[in-house]
Structure 1
Amino acid sequence: MKRLVPLLCLLAAPAAAQQVSIPHTTFTLPNGLRVIVAEDHSAPLAAVNVWYHVGSGYERPGRTGFAHLFEHIMFEGSKNVPEGDFDNWLEAAGARNNGSTTTDRTNYYEVMPSNAVELALWLEADRMGGLLDAMSPSKLEGQRGVVKNERRQSYENQPYGLLWETASTLLYPQGHPYSWTTIGSMADLDAARLEDVNAFFRTYYAPNNASIAVVGDVDPAQVRQWAERYFGWIPRNTDVQRPTDPMPQLTATTYTTREDRVTLPELSMIWRTGKRFSQDEAALNVLADILTSGKSSRLYKRLVYDEQVAAFASAFNDANLLSGDFWMRIRARPDVDLDRMQAAVDEEIARIAQTPPSQEELERVINGRVTGFVGRLETVEGKADQLNDYLYFTGTADYAERDLARYRAVTPADVQRVAQQYLAGKNHVIISIVPQGKTELAAQENQ
């Protein structure tokens, strides 16, 4: 058993100089299940956070949407838990629970009074080891319908919802695991057979392809006993190979226009960057914040506050296991041409590429990053998910201080360099979503 020190530690210093760590113990069961335990006795609460190392990026063409489908099926009963009682028993114990799916992982979590931790672990073990004992064609059909309805609500009938599928197909070549959305296609959901779904579960929902973080008012020795008792009997499966698809480069700047039932035109500009925890990720995140984080950020102040031609401006660097994309989204005011939004973005990026931001501007953004990071660690839920995140992407849960050190090391010259290297004058995808019948508002090539 490995013990890491110290406890979440915040020195009395400026935010950018604070030292942060999440003390925890780790162990691995003989079947390959990795368990992280972090004590926090500040309140009688705890979180159980399970990561299965599978997301939509592990799927293949014709079989998309399976990881997200299981996000729903996992709540529908298992060998010793009747349908509906997973939620009922946790709610009776004062707990809440949920799950989520990304391109790279699926997670399930519970937050509860600490005296319900054993219940949560038993429930998670029962569905890890006994879900298929309770699977049936009717359960598959029911959750298939739920997911298809969610797709309609979140993508097809949601204002601007068609952005995500449009972007995926433009950013990644056909067949690349990031070329489809996590929810999958209607055709693939319709075609999914029970044997296909069961095979997916057997491959990926095994203890050696999962990790559990237990954080809060708990005793690590007791958690280990429970983990051995409830999970130890589940057999390991063949080790899962992570996707290794190469990160494709954008070979040209492309323009795409979509009409939607919206009032405000919206512009998205997306550049290819790098993978999660790659060398320039921190500087790219800082660049995004300089452009749009807070009312004094460059594009927010210019477009929303000064010129009052935009409703919002948002930039973020979406770094994942296989690739990364720098997004800029600007929603304009009614009948404002998106060419104007594009020109403003290009100008502000060019300014940073030519002249680095001031030290004061940089410190504002980095202090905000550190404050937000520490804020996420104020809850047992936030700490549990962060520990699993580090384990998945870096191979160790002990990464908090190194994570923040990346931001403390960013200089104005670094921000200038990544603006030059990844954005200014580089190929990117431009998507205009405009009100129906108003394609003239879309950003135009060779403006």
Structure 2
Amino acid sequence: MAEQPLHEHTLGNGLRVVIREDHVVPLAAVNIWYGVGSRHEQAGRTGLAHLFEHLMFQGSGGVAEGEHAALLEAAGATFNASTSFERTNYYETVPVSHLELALWLEADRMGTLPAALTQANLDNQRDVVKNERRQRYDNQPYGTAFERLCALTFPAGHPYAHTPIGSMDDLDATTLTDCTDFFATWYAPGNAVLSIVGDVDPAAALAAAERYFGPVPAGPAAPPARPAPGDRLAELRVEKVDEEVPSPAYFAMFPLPSDGTAEIEALDHALEILGGGTGSRLYDRMVRRDEIATEVWAGVTRLAAGPSVAIVEAIGPDLGVLADVLDEELAAFATEGPSHDETVRAVAQAERAYLAQTETVTGLADGLSHNATLFGDPNRVFTAPERAAAVDAADIRAAAAHWLAPGARAVVTYGGAA
């Protein structure tokens, strides 16, 4: 069966709408990306983007507190939201008969959320977020590793020096005025992409999107985001964390090129080969052969508006030995590069990840919003396998030799002697 085309339209208020038919199951995925995340926050108000994600479920002009979730649950929908460095995402997958309910709910909170922004709601959701921070970060073994690595890798004030969860002090300092200003600044239709994927008629879906979202005022243009410069580190930066943990652990971060570059494709493959699973070089060396670690993993967090980052995690009793072996493996990889079989497997893994995302209406809608928001082209989601396959072993070796240099990285250790 031939692939269905994308249907793209921009409403008069600036909202970009992307629609894709998929008649395999009688479902429709509604996915909205707003071009705002933690990198857009100001000093002293970290965590505001994530806090606002929570506030968006507390009602709006036409929806009472608690009713948003109740209506979707009654319709048999699955729904959620997430906040990252570069965007905030709201999504629901509904039986296609309830598509207009999902569109109405999203349009109502896009257009009228300040009507439900009360001090009580702010206080309640601030407590929810602070409790999330305690459970997932502060009171979790190694839970602050990523946050500490970002602060160690990037200078103070850099958009990626803090993570979306924010600090307790900044959450406490956030006011109702901060929230209403944040909404007015970033939650305008022109700073959003709406993707609809599923068992829909494109013309009818667009008409419904126009009917519900068209009346939302355009609002001001989003201000430019702060620059997020980055380059490879020239030295070793180490923070030793004195906390009680189950076992000593070693975490490393390497700045990488931005998403959308050929180098990030090569480095994604490099990290997959080095530490992507039980068949990786680091696992084979550290866990299987030398038995110096019980766990090891490496991967890439891609970021489009600034440097991406690579992360290596290893759990083992002797942190100094872990660091030395990591340097040895990076040096060998920089010299030899990957084998043909390793390259083929890395490309295949990238293709599997692409298929896993795009085989569901929920995943495909998210991919369309992602690429429309960060790259201006929703069709780019379909070219991911070609970009992955365009990288060869020489590209992977060269990129790794430059960006994953032994000894130059940010390191956070827990327990043991580094």
TM-score, with structure 1 as normaliser: 0.90
**Which residue number in structure 1 is paired with residue 281 of structure 2?**
298
Q: Supply the AA of the counterpart residue of 1:224.
A: L
* Letter paired with 2:218: R
Instruction: Report what 2:392 is aligned to.
Output: 411
CA distance in 1, matches of 2:5, 2:296: 37
- Tell me how far 1:376 sits from its aligned partner: 1.3
Give the aligned length.
Answer: 416
Q: Is the 8 A contact 1:6 1:23 kept in 2?
A: no
1:99–1:109 CA contact under 8 A, matched in 2: yes
**Secondary structure, counterpart of 2:195 in structure 1:** strand
1:58 is the counterpart of 2:40: yes
- The C-alpha deviation readout for 1:110-138, integer Å capped at 9, x for no partner, is 01111111100000001111111111111
Q: 2:307 aligns with which of 310, 323, 331?
A: 323
1:186 equivalent to 2:168? Answer yes
Over 3 Å counting, the alpha-carbon distance change for 1:263 and 1:426 in structure 2 is closer
Please list, as runs of the form range in 1=range in 2, the aligned pairs for 1:331-370 lying within 5 A after superposition.
331-332=315-316, 336-370=317-351
Q: Which amino acid aligns with 1:442?
A: A
Change beyond 3 A, Cα 1:135–1:246: closer
Contact 1:63 1:188 in 2 (8 A): yes
Does the Cα contact within 8 Å between 2:160 and 2:228 map onto a contact in 1?
Answer: no
Structure 2 CA distance, aligned partners of 1:299 and 1:160?
Answer: 20
Kept in 1, the 8 Å contact 2:277–2:297? The answer is: no
Identify the residue that residue 10 of structure 1 maps to in structure 2.
none
Q: Aligned AA for 2:410?
A: V
- The alpha carbon displacement at 1:426 in A equals 5.9
1:225 aligns with 2:207: yes
| Contact 1:277/1:393, CA 8 A, preserved across alignment | no
1:69 CA drift (Å): 0.6
Task: Give the 3 Å change call, closer, same or farther, for CA 367–168 of structure 1 in structure 2.
Answer: same
Are 1:427 and 2:415 counterparts? no
Paired position in structure 1 for 2:22: 40
1:247 to 2:229 alignment: yes
Deviations for 1:163-220, whole angstroms, at most 9, x for unmatched residues?
A: 1221121111111111111011111111111111101111111111111111111111
Provide the residue aligned with 1:210 in structure 2.
Answer: 192
Distance 1:186 1:158 in 2: 16
Does residue 379 of structure 1 match 2:360? yes
Cα 1:306–1:252 shift into 2, 3 Å: closer
**SS of aligned partner of 2:82:** strand
Does residue 314 of structure 1 match 2:297? Answer: yes
Match of 2:122 among 125, 137, 140: 140
Post-superposition offset of 1:248? 3.3
Cα distance, 1:311 vs structure 2 = 2.1
How many angstroms does 1:418 deviate by? 1.0
Mapped partners of 1:48, 1:64: distance in 2? 28
Measured after TM superposition, the shift of residue 6 of structure 1 is 5.4
What is residue 144 of structure 2 aligned with on the other side?
162
The aligned counterpart of 2:254 is 271
C-alpha separation in 2, matches of 1:189 and 1:45: 38
Identity, in percent, stands at 41
- Report the CA distance between 1:407 and its aligned residue: 1.2
Q: Which runs of 5+ in 1 are unaligned?
A: 8-21, 435-440
Query: Residue 248 and residue 371 in structure 1: after superposition, are their counterparts in 2 closer, same or farther (change >3 A)?
Result: closer
User: TM-score scaled by structure 2?
Assistant: 0.96
Between the aligned partners of 2:215 and 2:364, the Cα distance in structure 1 is: 28
Cα-to-partner distance string for 1:233-265 (whole Å, 9 max, x where unaligned): 111122113424142343421121102231111
Asked whether the equivalents of residues 292 and 318 of structure 2 are also in contact (C-alpha less than 8 Å), the reply is no
Counterpart amino acid of residue 400 in structure 1: V
Amino acid paired to 1:46? A
Map 1:86-165 → 2, pairs under 5 A:
86-165=68-147
Does the 8 Å CA contact 1:32/1:208 hold for their aligned counterparts? yes
Which range is displaced more, 172-181 or 396-405?
A: 396-405
The separation in 2 between residues aligned to 1:397 and 1:180, in whole angstroms, is 29
Rounded to whole Å, the distance in 1 between the matches of 2:279 and 2:162 is 36
Q: What is the CA deviation profile of residues 25-72 of structure 1, one whole-angstrom value per residue up to 9, with x for unaligned ones?
A: 110000000011111000111110111110000011012111101110
CA distance in 2, matches of 1:244, 1:82: 36
Deviation at 1:83, TM superposition (A): 0.7
CA contact (8 A) 1:266 1:329 kept: yes
The 3 A distance-change label for structure 1 pair 378 and 226 is: same
Q: Contact between 2:194 and 2:369, CA under 8 Å: does it hold in 1?
A: yes
Q: Tell me the distance in 2 between the aligned counterparts of 1:220 and 1:93.
A: 22
Deviations 1:137-156 (A, max 9, x none): 11111111111111111111
Contact 2:21 2:200 in 1 (8 A): yes
2:93 aligned counterpart, secondary structure: strand
2:57 aligned residue: 75
How big is each residue's C-alpha offset from its partner over 1:417-444, in whole Å with a ceiling of 9 and x where there is no partner?
Answer: 011111124621111112xxxxxx232x
SS in 2 for 1:398: helix
- Structure 1 pair 246–180 and aligned structure 2 pair: CA distance change class (3 A): closer
Residue matched to 2:158: 176
**Aligned mate of 1:284, from 252, 267, 284:** 267
Cα offset, 1:279, TM superposition: 2.5
Do 2:354 and 2:384's aligned partners in 1 also have CA atoms closer than 8 Å? no
* Alpha-carbon distance in 1 for matches of 2:92, 2:23: 17
Tell me the amino acid that sits aligned with residue 66 of structure 1. L
